[in-house]
């Protein structure tokens, strides 16, 4: 019984001791969470945004040229085979194969048409030669008839007038027949030449088309125009071209070979914050794939026109950040964290935003650990902290939230109220000016 009582007592004492230790621990932990210190030093205002690495320069890997003087009708051409993305290639290495089915069928049809036209031309040449030979024979024979009629007329000079007249009529008739046959010959010759010219024109046209198709089909096996790493081309929807995707005569790019020595981070900034972004601003950059590495860069491009990204209604503006130097580990499409430096203050007093409170009169104040309800004049802020222009000394301990009995705190800093009102008046004037412009 005594042993049992002793054990129970020990357990109770241990529990009490544990509770005291726990209370002290939570009390200390509560102080850490509840209070914050007014700090002094460099204060940065920045905009953070995720981005994606892209190469500043790249060489496009394209399918064959369909147009450029060629008489070829080509629509969409599918990618039949494509090497894996990220493959390192040298100039002339195999990249892709395009589907030749439609164009190969066109080549077959045009080749058959060319063969038919050439056969028709040969037949036309033979027929024309035969017809013209016959016409020339008839003209030659008719010339003999004219000569005979002329001889008959000369021999009838001493005959009766009726005989002479008959000889004259026969000569005239034979001469008119000769003239008709000569005109017919000229007409048939001209028509034959025209037909042959037209057939030669179409043969030349179709022959050129066949050669163009053969030349284009040779380009359906795509090779690398330079050395580098293969990166698939992105469609306007954001999806990448791959096996089964199509190219067209206007957009023939299958993939790209980026220059990895100069990289950019492409990001998008909301329309609310884009006015703060300027070309030349410094940027601190991190790469998700290499969390221990840090990079620097600067804003090199800011879009003038906003756009809507897929699956969102928010309007954003494209911003490109050029990364200083080069690193062989960087690859296109890697995710980046971009911290764009907007402003920096070397000597500033700043506190967490949560510390600042505002009353019904919009007068801003903080609660200090020593029991004051201190009126303060806030300045510019970043995502976590705000500059205090008047009312606080560095090192002052502040409540992060309203204390339990705020009415018991002593109000101090009345002299700052005029500055707060002036600040609000200037801000209102700027807002009115902005509304008038827009």
How far is 267 from 389, CA to CA, in rounded Å? 33
**Three-state SS letters, 39-86:** EEEEEEEEEEEEEEEEECCEEEEECCCCCCCCCCCCCCEEEEEECCCC
As beta bridge partners, residue 88 has 229
For Cα atoms 186, 187, 189, give the angle at the middle one, nearest 5 degrees.
65
Task: Say how many CA atoms lie within 13 Å of 345 toward its Cβ.
Answer: 18
Q: How many CA atoms lie within 13 A of 414 on its CB side?
A: 2
Round to whole Å and give the CA distance between 131 and 199.
18
Instruction: Walk me through the domains of the chain, giving residue ranges and CATH numbers.
Output: 48-56+259-344 (2.40.30.170), 64-94+220-253 (no CATH), 104-218 (1.20.120)
Q: Which residues have CB under 8 Å from 107's CB, separation 6+?
A: 210, 213, 214, 217
Mapped onto helix, strand or coil, the DSSP state of residue 313 is coil
Question: Does residue 316 sit in helix, strand or coil?
Answer: strand
Cα distances (angstroms) measured from residue 21 to each of 8, 9, 16, 24: 20, 18, 9, 5
Q: Residue 272 and residue 304: Cα distance in Å, rounded?
A: 14
- CA proximity to 57, closest of 247, 255, 256, 254: 256
Digitized pLDDT (tens) for each residue of the chain, 438 residues in all? 334 333 333 333 333 334 333 333 333 444 445 899 999 999 999 999 999 999 998 899 998 887 655 667 667 899 999 999 989 999 999 999 999 988 899 899 999 999 999 999 999 999 999 999 999 999 999 999 999 999 998 998 888 899 889 989 999 999 999 999 999 999 999 999 999 999 999 999 999 989 988 888 888 999 999 988 899 998 877 788 999 999 888 888 999 999 888 999 999 999 989 999 999 999 999 999 998 899 999 999 999 998 887 777 788 999 999 999 988 888 888 999 999 999 999 899 999 999 999 887 888 999 999 999 999 999 989 889 999 999 999 999 999 988 988 889 999 989 988 988 888 888 777 777 766 765
Residue 436's alpha-carbon distances to 66, 272, 365, 429, 431, in angstroms, are 53, 18, 32, 11, 9
Q: Which residues pair with 234 in a beta bridge?
A: 240
Q: How far apart are CA 100 and CA 133, in angstroms?
A: 49
Kindly report the pTM of this predicted structure: 0.60
Task: Spell out the residues 6+ positions from residue 370 whose beta carbon is closer than 8 angstroms to its own.
Answer: 397
Selection from 302, 297, 279 nearest residue 287 by Cα: 297
């Amino acid at each position: 019984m005594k042993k049992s009582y002793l054990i129970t007592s020990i357990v109770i004492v241990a529990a009490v001791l544990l509770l005291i230790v726990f209370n002290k621990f939570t009390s200390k932990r509560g102080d850490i969470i509840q209070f914050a210190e007014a700090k002094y030093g460099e204060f940065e205002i920045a905009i953070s945004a995720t981005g994606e690495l892209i190469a500043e320069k790249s060489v496009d890997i394209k399918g064959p040229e369909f147009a450029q003087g060629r008489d070829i009708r080509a629509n969409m051409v599918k990618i039949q085979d494509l090497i894996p993305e990220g493959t390192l290639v040298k100039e002339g290495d195999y990249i892709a194969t395009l589907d030749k089915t439609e164009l190969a069928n066109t080549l077959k049809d045009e080749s058959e048409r060319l063969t038919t036209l050439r056969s028709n031309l040969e037949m036309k040449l033979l027929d024309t030669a035969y017809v013209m030979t016959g016409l020339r024979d008839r003209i030659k024979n008719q010339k003999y008839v004219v000569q005979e009629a002329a001889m008959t007329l000369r021999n009838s000079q001493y005959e009766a007038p009726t005989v002479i007249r008959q000889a004259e009529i026969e000569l005239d008739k034979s001469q008119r027949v000769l003239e008709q046959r000569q005109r017919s010959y000229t007409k048939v010759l001209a028509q034959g030449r025209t037909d042959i010219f037209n057939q030669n024109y179409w043969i030349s046209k179709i022959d050129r088309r066949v050669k163009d198709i053969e030349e284009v089909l040779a380009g359906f096996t795509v090779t690398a125009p330079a050395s580098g790493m293969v990166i698939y081309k992105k469609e306007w929807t954001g999806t990448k071209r791959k096996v089964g995707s199509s190219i067209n005569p206007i957009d023939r790019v299958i993939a790209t070979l980026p220059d990895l020595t100069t990289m950019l981070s492409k990001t998008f900034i909301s329309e609310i914050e884009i006015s703060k972004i300027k070309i030349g601003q410094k940027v601190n950059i991190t790469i998700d794939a290499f969390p221990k590495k840090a990079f620097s860069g600067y804003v090199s491009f800011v879009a003038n026109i906003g756009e809507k990204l897929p699956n969102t209604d928010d309007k954003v503006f494209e911003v490109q950040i050029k990364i200083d130097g080069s690193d062989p580990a960087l690859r296109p499409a890697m995710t980046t964290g971009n911290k764009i430096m907007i402003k920096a203050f070397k000597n500033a007093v700043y506190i967490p935003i949560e510390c600042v409170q505002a009353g019904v009169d919009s007068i801003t104040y903080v609660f200090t650990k020593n029991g004051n309800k201190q009126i303060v004049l806030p300045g510019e802020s970043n995502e976590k902290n705000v500059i205090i222009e008047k009312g606080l000394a560095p090192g002052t301990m502040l409540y992060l939230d309203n204390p339990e009995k705020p009415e018991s705190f002593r109000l101090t800093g009345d002299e700052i109220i005029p500055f707060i009102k002036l600040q609000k008046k200037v801000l209102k004037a700027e807002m009115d000016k902005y509304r008038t412009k827009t």
